[in-house]
Structure 1
Amino acid sequence: FRCGDAESPIGRTRTMPLPHQLPDQVRFAVTSCQNYEQGLFTAYEQMANDDVDLVFHLGDYIYEYEAGRNGKVRTHHGSEIMSLGDYRVRHAQYRSDPLLQNMHALCPWWVTWDDHEFDNNCACDISEESGIDSLSFLTRRANAYQAYYEMMPLRLRQIPRGSDMRLYRSAQFGRLAEFSILDTRQYRTDQPNGDRKSPLNEAALDPTQSMLGTKQRGWLSRNLIRSTATWNVLAQQVMMGMVNRSGDPDNQQYSMDQWPGYAHERMDLLNYIRDRQVSNPVVLTGDIHSNWANELRVDDRQTEQSLVATEFVATSLSSGGNGLDKPKNLDALLAENACVKWHNAERGYIRCDVTPDSWKSDYMVVDDVLKPGGKTFARNSFVVESGSPKLNQA
């Protein structure tokens, strides 16, 4: 990493080698969505054996729900968390897990939040629930952000200021990779269409809809165009692939909480990446409790368009309990969405090996997170060759 910029396992910065001293290869893990009640953190045991250089955690490090709401193997303490003390206790409960503790001790982590670090499906200062006072909502957000900062490995510059906390930032692994870590919650406009799965209608395509906000989008654009790295990585929360989740062209159902709900900004960003010829763009994503391997176009509905980027979506580490290798309506979903090359709904993480010539992603899954002793193994693997965003089966 650029000297002094690595986020250490104990919570602040540590000095790392200068870029010219770093090897031209890196191995890291990508994970998200670790619900303490819904499954054991078994995957961290194998991750610790993978000898990774770093971990990306892309949101839902904790869940804010009251005890027992989703309990399968263990339970939260207390009611739905609201106060600073509540958030501190919830973080401490999660960090009491020995497998999670060990993984933090082994290597640097790069973290960003999604919604459950604060409140489900939040959008800026807007709650998913009706009748919530904006001032009290922001007071709760200030509590959530303060506890998050205290407990997570973050830089001093990330210190929260009331209900605001700048989490988007960049990191470089020598000349090999430039990582842009995004915040797609704090600055977004409200989800269109009442946050219901919908066609890509006028509301979803509204140019005033923004996932990133003006300042973060400008920062990202500058970061991308200035980069001299071989691989340019967006580490963020919600799926960028424009996926009709129904698999039925006559009943289009796109998630409005994900990038399709902000389709104009999404397409504008991919246009920017394509037109500026950003080197080897790769998107890393969490949130959705399932694995996806996607090839991204400016508009994924237009299959004649050339590919722009690759997206690797990491499933949840434990949220949802045990999942399925082959979800229902899988064949219809793949037939309807040319951008999706693979989809799976088991628990686990992605292990990435990156060199100047190629990127390999191993989708590591756990056969059982509901009891101790679950086995973790590679369910599928994909390779991207430098210079082309096409996904190749490994």
Structure 2
Amino acid sequence: MSRDRFNMSRRGFLARLGTSVAAGSLAACGDDDTGAGTDPSSSGTGLDLERNPPPPAPAIEPPFALGVASGDPLHDRVVIWTRLAPAPLESDWGMPAEDVPVIWEVFADEALTEPVRSGWTRARPALAHAVHVDVDGLRSDTPYWYRFRVGDDHVSPVGRTRTFPRPDASPRAFRFAMACCQKYRSGFYTAYHHLAREEDLHAVFHLGDYIYESGGEPEVPGRLPLDRERVTDLAGFRHRYGAYRLDEDLQEAHRVHPWIATWDDHEVSNNYGSLTLAPNRRGDGDPAAIRAAGYQAWYEHMPVRMPFPDDPTFLRIYRDFHFGTLARIFVLDSRQYRTPQACDDEVGPACDEIFDPERTMLGHEQKAWLVDGLRHSDSRWNIMAQQVLFGPFNLDYSIVNPDQWDGYVHARQQILDVLAEPDVHNPVVLSGDVHAAGFSVLRADAEDDRSPVIGHEILTTSISSGGDELDGIARFAPLAEVALDNVDYVEAGKRGYALCELTRNRLDVRFRVVTTVAAPTADVYVDRAYRIWAEQLTFERRRDWEDEPPG
């Protein structure tokens, strides 16, 4: 496939890239039904093609410029997604302000000769003509291929997905990747070029910062300028997602693997907490309105299984998945319910506020859901997929980032207390956010280096954020492996993803990094690798899996 994905629309939307996006609202779309979850044709399995054929589609330009995606796999179903947008960077994204019928088809073979499920749904302007179909009635632990059609003329790329094993099954292995932090103007999605070619992945966990609300000129030659400095409304967020999703490598990673996504802060506003903007962002506008716009745009562009609420200021995204009896995965939301950051959100010596026992990262309901799920889990491994660095990284609180779990000391210890319970087997925390790769142990008492190891944390570096320079926690990284007993590895100058394989007895992780994100293609190699042994809660570095950096 040509890298010139931007020639897909005859309307030449990239020629208009610098044009400001007109302000938009749901009311202006001419559709006052914004509740995707209330209509079986806009989420769920859709309408039957034989008994209830779709009406004629309006004449539109080729609508699949943003590709296809799948996500949230269960043992008998998976969500498939697309968004009709012939010109994603125009104010109307090249679509009429009316419902458009979309046919979807699922096949058992790559040649598309064995149809399994099909139907049609309505792409609605109120949700930017996004389509979420929860395809049920599928076989467990099975690959499938899918596509969408609009009218007689437009057929989407063919996506590949797969279901998870049954909750009572005993699969041999669970193979997954971790990704986060993909600032468009900081570099190319070189890492996704390679992640899309990883074989036999059951899922990609995206841990947030899928977009960045900030815009401006590209930091590397060849990236396109974004439309404005910072977006705060729905039209702006849609434009930002449109620019990101036009990237060919990101589209391919979505097309070939099912994703399980959560958000972090940049999908709304840097370092926001609950309904409070960071101190340096409080002039941006109404926090509730900004959050509602960011949440709606995230929903519109993610292959997720959840009804869209009447009020998008509140959108529950925490959820869990069973991969047979091998693993239970808890996907968390550490933004929507947290107490706003302590210490005026300044990185520096700890202030008294971070030790306040009333401070929460997850909120009462999500924490209760997580604790109950962990205590009643029969899975061999229990995985928390979440956004920010969980374990201590504070050099005896002389340097604290209050946006991380270090700023929520009691809330973290309460979770560690549960992870330390004997019936919670082999806990692993997956984290992102700080633009660094890392590997560390979790201790029963985060404040005591002599307390027993109860689990491990795997930190994936950014896809592109930070570019080829040291970034994020880079200024602390040289000290971390020496000064922090819990940290075995931290690398803040390389971009990539983490590749994991989990069996009953061990979890293997390879930190895959690219040589540069200043170019669309580059070499990829394993910078560090580990094996975690189940039940023993020990690990070993696997130098035999690691590569010398190319060149």
TM-score, length-scaled by structure 2: 0.67
Give the counterpart of 1:58 among 207, 217, 225: 207
2:343 pairs with 1:229: no
- Alignment partner, residue 391 of structure 1: 539
Comparing both chains, which one has the higher relative contact order based on Cα–Cα distances under 8 Å and sequence gaps of 6 or more?
1
2:314 pairs with 1:164: yes
Q: State the distance in 2 between where 1:343 and 1:35 align.
A: 21
Q: State the distance in 2 between where 1:179 and 1:3 align.
A: 14
How many angstroms does 1:144 deviate by?
A: 1.0
1:230-252 CA distances to partner (integer Å, 9 max, x unpaired)? 110000000011112xx5x6x81
- Alignment partner, residue 254 of structure 1: 400
Fraction of identical pairs, as percent: 33
Q: State the distance in 2 between where 1:83 and 1:199 align.
A: 35
SS of residue paired to 1:117: coil
- Alignment partner, residue 352 of structure 2: 202
Amino acid at match of 1:256: P
How many angstroms does 1:135 deviate by?
A: 7.9
- Alignment partner, residue 483 of structure 2: 336
How many angstroms does 1:156 deviate by?
A: 3.1
- Alignment partner, residue 255 of structure 2: 105
How many angstroms does 1:202 deviate by?
A: 2.8
2:331 pairs with 1:181: yes
Question: Aligned pair in 2 of structure 1 residues 382, 160: CA closer, same or farther (>3 Å)?
Answer: farther
Q: State the distance in 2 between where 1:97 and 1:267 align.
A: 40
- Tell whether the 8 Å contact from 2:343 to 2:350 is kept in structure 1 after alignment: no
Q: State the distance in 2 between where 1:158 and 1:358 align.
A: 38
SS of residue paired to 1:378: strand
- Tell whether the 8 Å contact from 1:2 to 1:174 is kept in structure 2 after alignment: no
2:503 pairs with 1:359: no
Amino acid at match of 1:242: P
Alpha-carbon RMSD across the aligned residues, in angstroms, is 2.3
2:445 pairs with 1:317: no
- Tell whether the 8 Å contact from 1:349 to 1:363 is kept in structure 2 after alignment: yes
1:283-308 CA distances to partner (integer Å, 9 max, x unpaired)? 00010000110101133341110011
Question: Aligned pair in 2 of structure 1 residues 236, 329: CA closer, same or farther (>3 Å)?
Answer: closer
SS of residue paired to 1:157: coil
Question: Aligned pair in 2 of structure 1 residues 218, 13: CA closer, same or farther (>3 Å)?
Answer: same
- Tell whether the 8 Å contact from 1:224 to 1:232 is kept in structure 2 after alignment: yes
- Alignment partner, residue 71 of structure 1: 219
- Tell whether the 8 Å contact from 2:241 to 2:301 is kept in structure 1 after alignment: yes
2:293 pairs with 1:143: yes
- Tell whether the 8 Å contact from 2:401 to 2:407 is kept in structure 1 after alignment: yes
Question: Aligned pair in 2 of structure 1 residues 377, 131: CA closer, same or farther (>3 Å)?
Answer: closer
SS of residue paired to 2:330: strand
- Alignment partner, residue 126 of structure 1: 276
- Structure 2 gaps of 5+ residues are 1-72, 83-131, 141-165, 543-551
Q: State the distance in 2 between where 1:197 and 1:45 align.
A: 34
How many angstroms does 1:129 deviate by?
A: 3.0
SS of residue paired to 1:377: strand
How many angstroms does 1:195 deviate by?
A: 1.2
- Tell whether the 8 Å contact from 2:189 to 2:520 is kept in structure 1 after alignment: no
- Alignment partner, residue 13 of structure 1: 134
Amino acid at match of 2:190: T
Amino acid at match of 1:388: Q
* Larger of the two Rg values belongs to structure: 2
1:346-391 CA distances to partner (integer Å, 9 max, x unpaired)? 1000000111111001000010100132111111101111103333
- Alignment partner, residue 193 of structure 2: 45
TM-score, length-scaled by structure 1: 0.92
Name the count of aligned residue pairs.
389
Moved more, 286-295 or 1-10: 1-10
Q: State the distance in 1 between where 2:195 and 2:81 align.
A: 15
Amino acid at match of 1:64: E
How many angstroms does 1:76 deviate by?
A: 1.8
Question: Aligned pair in 2 of structure 1 residues 255, 299: CA closer, same or farther (>3 Å)?
Answer: farther
2:239 pairs with 1:89: yes
- Alignment partner, residue 36 of structure 2: none
